[in-house]
Amino acid sequence: MRKLSFDIRVPVIQAPMGGGNLTTPELVAAVSNSGGLGSLAAGYLSAREIEQATRKTRALTERPFAVNLFAPGSREPLSGDVGAQLRLLGPIHDRLGLDPPAMPDRVAGLFEEQVESVLAARIPVVSFTFGLLPEDVMNRLHGQGAFVIGTATTVAEAKMLEAAGVDAVVAQGSEAGAHRGTFDVPVEPPLVGAIALVPQIVDAIRLPVIASGGIMDGRGIVAAMALGASAVQMGTAFLTCHECGAAAAYKRAVLEAADDSTSLTRAFSGRWARGIRNRFMEASNRAGAEPLSYPWQNSLTGPMRAAASRKGETAFLSLFAGQGTRLARSMSAADLMQALEREIGDAITDVSSRAGSPTGRTAPA
Give residue-wise pLDDT tens across range 97-121: 999 999 987 776 789 999 999 999 9
**Which regions of the chain are under pLDDT 50?**
362-365
What pLDDT score does 343 carry?
Answer: 98
Q: Which residues pair with 319 in a beta bridge?
A: none
Neighbour-count burial of 78, counting CB atoms closer than 10 A to its CB (0-12 exposed, 13-18 middle, 19+ buried): middle
Across the beta sheet with 178-179, what order do the strands follow? 178-179, 273-276, 262-265
What pLDDT score does 365 carry?
Answer: 41
| Cβ neighbours of residue 121 closer than 8 Å, sequence gap 6 or more | 50, 51, 54, 55, 67
**Distance between CA atoms of 14 and 268, rounded to whole angstroms?**
23
What pLDDT score does 342 carry?
Answer: 98
Closest CA to 23 of 265, 213, 238: 238
What pLDDT score does 20 carry?
Answer: 66
Handedness of CA 11, 196, 327, 181 (dihedral sign): positive
What pLDDT score does 364 carry?
Answer: 44
Closest CA to 298 of 107, 151, 88: 107
What pLDDT score does 363 carry?
Answer: 44
Peptide bond into 295 cis (omega under 30): yes
What is the SS3 assignment for 113? helix
What pLDDT score does 7 carry?
Answer: 86
What is the SS3 assignment for 190? coil
Buried b (16+ CB within 10 A) or exposed e, 160-183: bbbeeebbbbbbbbbbbbbbbbbb
CB–CB of 10/341 below 8 Å? yes
What pLDDT score does 169 carry?
Answer: 98
